[in-house]
Structure formats: structure tokens, C-alpha cells
């Protein structure tokens, strides 16, 4: 049942996250995502299958990045790119807080299947937002740093993309291969500390 809940939540969450990127870019004058057919609620247009499986079985995953071309935006490449990139994590946070609000409304029935699904939605989108603010390629945090840096520093940051991807890959691999005791001792306490600030989950 947990895997089924994560599947439903992942499809919804990835769709909202990537659609937010696409809509923000379109609002700023960039039609690339619309031309690529990504301005849609069809979850399979946004799905990266390995990322979806990771989301189902590990509780954290990733989707297929919505294409954006900041040089086509009317507000300038750096500002427009930054706003479009941040739209995804902000949409994930909006889903998280929306789920928290519904949990508070449904407090008497929080132990129901609907309450369980909402708790998965809240946790999944919290993790999705936290993952995406990490400064590793191809995550949103990496792209946000690139738009914040001066031109010469941004070029150096792009050259470091391979290294950041390697760090990200090693981190995800460690989550898979580390013994449960190590994860329970070091990873779970951190996650629980973050979750404790969110009442009701």
C-alpha cells in the first residue's frame, strides 16, 4: 500500500513540479516547454522512469526536467532563469503545505486511507523540495546558483557540473547500499528533525 501511495503521489508531484517550471517560463516569455509538449497535466510527459521507481521504492525521486531557454525571456536571462528554476521547488512546497492543511481539516479521520495518502504527499514533496535545492547538476539548486553567479564564475560552475553530478550519484548510491543501522543512526534523525517542524505528519 505504501508503494502504491508513493506511485500516485510521485506522478502528481512530479507533474506539478515540472509544470510549474514550464508555466513560469511561459509567463516570462519563453515558449520552449510549450513547444516541447510539456505544458500538460499528463504525468507521463514529465516522467523519468528510473526517477519514478526511486520515488516509489525509496521515497525520493526525480522527473524529466522541463526545458527552458532563459535568453528568450522578456525580463532578462539571469532573472528569468532564476524565477523559472525556483518555480519547481516552490510548487513542491505548495503541495506540501496544501497537504498539511487538508490533514488539519481531516484531523478526526487522519488515520484513514486518505489521511495516509496525504501524509505521503507531505513527506514526498518536502523531500522533493529539499533534494532540488541541492547545488548538484541537474537539480534546480545547481541551475539557481548558475543564474546567481557573475558570467565568468557561471562558466566555471558549468565546467564543474560533472563533479557535482558525481557527488549526487555517490550520495544516492550510499542511501541504497549503506546498512540500515547507519541510516537509522545518521540519516533518519536528520529527516525526523525536519519533519518535526511540520505538525500533523
Q: Which residues are catalytic?
A: 18
CA atoms within 13 A on the CB side of 201: 25
Residues 134 and 45: their CA atoms lie apart, in Å, by 24
Q: 105: exposed, middle or buried (C-beta count within 10 Å: 0-12, 13-18, 19+)?
A: exposed
Secondary structure of 139-199 in HEC code, one letter for each residue: CHHHHHHHHHCCHHHHHHHHHCHHHHHHHHHHHHHHHHHCCHHHHHHHHHHHHHHHHHCCC
Cβ-based neighbours of 109, under 8 Å, separated by 6 or more: 115
Query: Element (H or E) spanning 12, and its range?
Result: helix 2-27
Amino acid at each position: 500500500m505504501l508503494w502504491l501511495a508513493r506511485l500516485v503521489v510521485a506522478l502528481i508531484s512530479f507533474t506539478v513540479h515540472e509544470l510549474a517550471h514550464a508555466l513560469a517560463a511561459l509567463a516570462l516569455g519563453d515558449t520552449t516547454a510549450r513547444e516541447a509538449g510539456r505544458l500538460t497535466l499528463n504525468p507521463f510527459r514529465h516522467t523519468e522512469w528510473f526517477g519514478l521507481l526511486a520515488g516509489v521504492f525509496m521515497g525520493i525521486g526525480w522527473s524529466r526536467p522541463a526545458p527552458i531557454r532563459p535568453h528568450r525571456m522578456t525580463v532578462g536571462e539571469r532573472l528569468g532563469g532564476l524565477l523559472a528554476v525556483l518555480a519547481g521547488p516552490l510548487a513542491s512546497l505548495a503541495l506540501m503545505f496544501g497537504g498539511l492543511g487538508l490533514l488539519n481539516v481531516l484531523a478526526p479521520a487522519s488515520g484513514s486511507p486518505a489521511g495516509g495518502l496525504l501524509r505521503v504527499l507531505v513527506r514526498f514533496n518536502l523531500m522533493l523540495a529539499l533534494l532540488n535545492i541541492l547545488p548538484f547538476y541537474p537539480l534546480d539548486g545547481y541551475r539557481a546558483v548558475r543564474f546567481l553567479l557573475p558570467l565568468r564564475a557561471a562558466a566555471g560552475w558549468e565546467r564543474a557540473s560533472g563533479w557535482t553530478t558525481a557527488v549526487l550519484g555517490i550520495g544516492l548510491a550510499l542511501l541504497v547500499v549503506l546498512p540500515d543501522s547507519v541510516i537509522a543512526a545518521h540519516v533518519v534523525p536528520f529527516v525526523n528533525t525536519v519533519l518535526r517542524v511540520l505538525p500533523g505528519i
